[in-house]
Amino acid sequence: MSRELLVPGTRPRRLWPRRLDLLFHLIKTVRLIAYLLRHERVGIGRKVLFVGGCGLLLFLLFFPDTFGELVSSMLLPVVGTILGVPLDAGFDWLTLVLVLVSLLRVFPAEVVEEGYRRIFIQPKKAQP
């Protein structure tokens, strides 16, 4: 069901959310993120970094052509515009979920593990 991950710098093995769990259980994923954003042991800087990263990814998802034109016009003024570099080809919902798991590393591992156990694991054990 879930995998355990050895977090660098620590000895105990930590439970970490699986990408497929987050992809197929959207409501639980939203609950986990809300839990992490409301948790008092998570600093405001980490919360802002996570929300900012998600916001940037959503912006790239919804407006990929804007990003492509910005990069093509400003960073690659001649080559990018002439070649028409397709920068929006790799951004989709699957990529968002895959990156979301990486963004969860912003939060302390023990808080992520606690929330993951409460939301994903505990309800399964309560079923007969």
- Does the pTM surpass 0.75? The reply is no
pLDDT tens-digit readout, 66-103: 666 665 565 555 544 454 544 444 446 667 777 788 88
Query: Is the residue at 8 inside a domain?
Result: no
Query: Is the residue at 78 inside a domain?
Result: no
pLDDT of residue 32 exceeding 80, the answer is yes
Q: What is the pLDDT of residue 94?
A: 62
Query: Is the residue at 76 inside a domain?
Result: no
pLDDT of residue 4 exceeding 80, the answer is no
Containing domain of residue 120, as a range?
14-63+93-126
Q: What mean pLDDT is predicted for residues 3-22?
A: 67
Query: Is the residue at 19 inside a domain?
Result: yes
Those residues whose C-beta lies under 8 Å from the C-beta of residue 111, and which sit 6 or more positions away, are 36, 39, 41, 42
* Number of domains making up the chain: 1
Query: Is the residue at 101 inside a domain?
Result: yes
Query: Is the residue at 80 inside a domain?
Result: no
Q: What mean pLDDT is predicted for residues 2-20?
A: 64
Query: Is the residue at 55 inside a domain?
Result: yes
